[in-house]
Chains A and B, each alone.
Chain A
Amino acid sequence: MKIIFKLFTGIGLIGLIFSCSKEDKLNYTLQNYDTFVPGTIDNWISANLTDPFNIEVIYRYQRNMHDINKNIAPADESKVIPQMKIVLKGFLEVYGKIGGSKFIKLYTPKQFALFGSGDYDPDGSVKGGTADGGRRITLYGLNGLNDNDASSVIGNLQVIHHEFTHILNQNRFIPGEFGLVCVGDYYAEWTAAENTEAKARSLGFISPYARKSIGEDFAETLSHLVVRGQKFYDDYALQSGETAYKKFKEKESIVRDYMIKYFNIDVTQLQNEFQRVMVEEYHSTDYTSVMISSGKYDPFCTDFYTEYTLSMNRYTRLNSYLFGQLTQKITV
């Protein structure tokens, strides 16, 4: 009896193995009904951005690429390639040349989302771009882009470099001492009427927007240094008064250290390369006066800085001397 019982148990257990295998394969194929047809723009993008840099460009409207509560217009097709050429020449190739192709392939945002109009906030300000999670840069206002106008291109690149700084910051934190330079002066409600450019400047901010938060301040500082150039930055700092000047210079040195320390990138080289591209590709005349040589950027300014604290008299004298020199240089 026992044997029979064991036998049954055995058969039963073997039966268990097969009991559930009753042809349960899911007879189903997941399909993508979105019959996307690539056009000339898509081919250009894959040849120039997707293949070399693994970058995806979303230029056809997708609501989930922006704040779904906003109304944002899609990009005009005719602006897509000019915009991405600007990204390629004024950003990817500049960083690629100075930081190395490994750096740019590693850190470049892998997704660019393009929209035709600005992103309008309820407070009346219009966003030009956003960066998300170290992966995506969203550029707004494409339909207003004019790639024959150097200042339009520079404004556009300012946004890209600003957003890329956020991406770098999302990979390596902003040094703590950066936030201490202007501690207490940050102002979330930066569009308020009292936050004029003069006010922000006197507190040591490169733009009223920089007052919004430490992160924006850092991004504004680096993007102004690269895109507007050292001369612009120094002039701006110099004419902002004694206390502000110190803050500007302190922030600059923290930003430069950050770039060298974490990414081994010399901001001066970055500036030079950027300016070369702007002049050669987009015929910009914004940098004609001082093309910065390596290392020491502006001899007048560095000299001036050491002498700076000595006396206010000397400040005024040097100041006029300096601007006399610079004006002459510009006319050359």
Chain B
Amino acid sequence: MKKIFYVICLVLLTVSCNKPKEVALEFEKDPDSRIADTLSYVRKMLVESPYGWKGSLVTEYAGAYGFYMQFGKNDRVKMVADLDEETASKEKESTYRIRQIMTSTLSFDTYTYLTMLEDPNPATYNGQPGKGMGSDIEFNYIKNHGDTLFFEGRKFQKSMILVKATASESQQYLSNGFGKSRSQLLNYTDANPNLYIQIPSLESKISVSFSDESRTASLTYISGKEIVSKIGKYNFDLGGLNFAEPVVLGDLTIVKAKMQDGKFMLLDSSNKPYEIMSNAVPVLPITAFFGYRDTYNSIQIDGATLPGGINSAFNDIWARQINTYNGWGVKMVSMTFRLVSSQKAKLEVWFFVNGYNYRVDVGYDYIMTDNIIKLSNEVQNDLGWIHSDIKSYFKNAEFKLDYVASSDPKVRGVGGLIKTNNPNSFFYGKLVKLSN
């Protein structure tokens, strides 16, 4: 019996190592060959697009940026970008690499326009020291859809989208296409102040502003008593802008902006246009922004010259003040009407004489109802440095606070105190916020 037991043991031993070696693969192939497939797919796609790729890249600390790239077989990539005039007009060649880091990754591994956004040196492209614009140089491949490849930055996880370009697009990008779109927008915003749009679902006009420095557009409107501001990140493409991070206004999503027949349009996701219009003064009521602790609390005349292109009865009074100063050899630095607290206001003057700046002021109590400001209880601390005509202009006066339009489109952000009994007479200057 015992012996049979031994024999069985031995027989068992001989077969003991015969274990099944096949692994059931969840996705048909093992991970290694799957990553190899992806890598060669991404490479093949990038290299074999005959007219290259157009794309956009979103950054963490600024807006979005547009690129046009051509990938070569020899690890080299050529690109133009919408960063500035040079990057738009001069092609830059550098290396790229597709390899597995955590997943299949496209990296721009020598210096090029795209890496300027990542550069921690502020001198390169005005990024934050040590942080740049919050961008990446290594991008994980996420997915493809039709002619589009989707990547995501490894560190900041912002999206980079590359779309196959056509022959004519390629030719346009390489002949300063980005530069043309950019100067088109810059020229337009220079010539047209106080942009706004209107959409059916909102009662308020929506003020629109573009920042070339941060590549963001802000759309601001009033909802009830609240000021709502929506920020979108845009990059340039051929003939316009593309919102790589769109702006959502209620039920519509703004995705593009374009010049069409001399009009500047925002386009929503269903390609419906909203014409951008220009107004002489900002479209949102000044009362929403002006108060002793609001966006603006002061109206300031900077230097001896009033903002240009505006006619007011105050111009003569101001000229008298400046003439007096000129006679004394004194330089006007600034005159400011400011709200100091919920009840106190000040007319403050800085002037420069004998190498020093001095300050004097006249104090008032004020009551503000809607946009009417009533001054009372004048307290003169000006030692005669403010012209008596100006003092009497303000003494116990009643003003309507409003924006002031100028005939010069470059003069913007001017606010005024308009005499309620004479609409042609107003004190005016730049709207500013001074710390109290």
Shortest beta-carbon distance, A92 to chain B, in Å?
23
Chain A: residues with CB nearer than 8 A to chain B?
Answer: 1, 5, 8-9, 11-13, 15-16, 18-20, 22, 24, 31, 33-37, 39, 59-63, 70-77, 116-118, 120-122, 124, 143-144
**16 contacts across the A-B interface (CB closer than 8 A):** A5-B3, A8-B6, A16-B14, A19-B14, A22-B18, A36-B97, A37-B73, A70-B130, A71-B130, A74-B115, A77-B95, A116-B111, A120-B120, A120-B131, A122-B130, A143-B121
Shortest beta-carbon distance, A276 to chain B, in Å?
33
Q: Is the CB of B76 within 8 A of A39?
A: yes
Find the A residue at minimum CB distance from B119. A73
Main SS at interface, chain A: loop
Chain A hits for B32, CB < 8 A: 31
Chain A hits for B18, CB < 8 A: 19, 22
Most buried by B among A22, A71, A76: A71
Q: Is the CB of B111 within 8 A of A143?
A: yes
CA distance A242 to B7 in the complex (A): 96
Find the B residue at minimum CB distance from A60. B109
- Which among A13, A33, A60, A72 is the interface contact of B120 at CB below 8 angstroms? A72
Extra 18 A-B pairs, beta carbons < 8 Å, given A39-B75, A74-B111: A5-B3, A12-B10, A12-B13, A12-B14, A13-B10, A16-B13, A22-B18, A34-B99, A39-B76, A61-B108, A63-B138, A71-B118, A71-B131, A75-B110, A118-B120, A118-B121, A143-B111, A143-B121
Chain A hits for B76, CB < 8 A: 39
CA distance A167 to B307 in the complex (A): 64
Chain A hits for B110, CB < 8 A: 59-61, 74-77
User: Is B383 among interface residues, defined by CB-CB distance under 8 A?
Assistant: no
Q: Is the CB of B3 within 8 A of A1?
A: yes
Shortest beta-carbon distance, B153 to chain A, in Å?
11
Chain B 1-35 per-residue mask, 1 if CB under 8 angstroms from chain A, else 0: 00100110011011111100100000000001001
CA distance A37 to B137 in the complex (A): 19
- Which among A16, A34, A70 is the interface contact of B97 at CB below 8 angstroms? A34
Q: Is the CB of A120 within 8 A of B119?
A: no
User: Is B163 among interface residues, defined by CB-CB distance under 8 A?
Assistant: no
CA distance A31 to B39 in the complex (A): 12
Q: Is the CB of A20 within 8 A of B121?
A: no
CA distance A59 to B95 in the complex (A): 11
Find the B residue at minimum CB distance from A4. B3
Shortest beta-carbon distance, A116 to chain B, in Å?
5
- Which among A19, A31, A74, A76 is the interface contact of B137 at CB below 8 angstroms? A74
User: Is B313 among interface residues, defined by CB-CB distance under 8 A?
Assistant: no
User: Is B36 among interface residues, defined by CB-CB distance under 8 A?
Assistant: yes
CA distance A75 to B115 in the complex (A): 10
Which residues 122-155 of B have a CB within 8 angstroms of A? 124, 129-132, 137-138, 154-155
User: Is B94 among interface residues, defined by CB-CB distance under 8 A?
Assistant: yes
Given contacts A15-B14, A34-B99, A76-B111, contact A117 B75 (CB under 8 A): no
Q: Is the CB of B130 within 8 A of A120?
A: yes
Q: Is the CB of B120 within 8 A of A9?
A: no
Given contacts A61-B107, A76-B110, contact A70 B120 (CB under 8 A): yes
Q: Is the CB of A15 within 8 A of B115?
A: no
Shortest beta-carbon distance, A166 to chain B, in Å?
23
CA distance A233 to B17 in the complex (A): 75
User: Is B158 among interface residues, defined by CB-CB distance under 8 A?
Assistant: no
Chain A hits for B97, CB < 8 A: 34, 36, 60
Shortest beta-carbon distance, B87 to chain A, in Å?
14
Chain B hits for A59, CB < 8 A: 110
- Which among A35, A73, A75, A77 is the interface contact of B121 at CB below 8 angstroms? A73
Most buried by B among A116, A118, A124: A116
Shortest beta-carbon distance, A44 to chain B, in Å?
15
Find the B residue at minimum CB distance from A29. B32
Chain A hits for B137, CB < 8 A: 61, 73-74
User: Is B74 among interface residues, defined by CB-CB distance under 8 A?
Assistant: yes
CA distance A11 to B6 in the complex (A): 12
Shortest beta-carbon distance, A23 to chain B, in Å?
9
Shortest beta-carbon distance, A165 to chain B, in Å?
26
CA distance A71 to B35 in the complex (A): 27
Most buried by A among B16, B43, B95: B95
Shortest beta-carbon distance, B141 to chain A, in Å?
13
- Which among B99, B115, B119, B155 is the interface contact of A33 at CB below 8 angstroms? B99
Q: Is the CB of B7 within 8 A of A8?
A: yes
Which residues 235-284 of B have a CB within 8 angstroms of A? none
Most buried by B among A36, A70, A120: A120
Shortest beta-carbon distance, B96 to chain A, in Å?
9
Q: Is the CB of B74 within 8 A of A39?
A: yes
Q: Is the CB of A71 within 8 A of B129?
A: no
Chain A hits for B73, CB < 8 A: 37
Q: Is the CB of B75 within 8 A of A33?
A: no
Chain A hits for B99, CB < 8 A: 33-34
Shortest beta-carbon distance, A1 to chain B, in Å?
7
**9 smallest beta-carbon distances between A and B, as pairs:** A12-B10, A120-B130, A76-B111, A61-B109, A34-B99, A60-B109, A73-B119, A20-B17, A15-B14
Chain B hits for A62, CB < 8 A: 109
Chain B hits for A12, CB < 8 A: 7, 10-11, 13-14
Given contacts A71-B132, A122-B130, contact A77 B10 (CB under 8 A): no
Chain A hits for B6, CB < 8 A: 5, 8-9
Most buried by B among A5, A34, A35, A117: A117
Find the B residue at minimum CB distance from A37. B75
Chain B hits for A73, CB < 8 A: 111, 115-116, 118-121, 124, 132, 137
CA distance A231 to B76 in the complex (A): 47
Chain A hits for B211, CB < 8 A: none
User: Is B183 among interface residues, defined by CB-CB distance under 8 A?
Assistant: no
Shortest beta-carbon distance, A71 to chain B, in Å?
5
Chain B hits for A116, CB < 8 A: 111, 115, 119
Find the B residue at minimum CB distance from A142. B111
Chain A hits for B154, CB < 8 A: 63
Most buried by B among A11, A62, A70, A74: A74
User: Is B166 among interface residues, defined by CB-CB distance under 8 A?
Assistant: no
Q: Is the CB of B17 within 8 A of A19?
A: yes
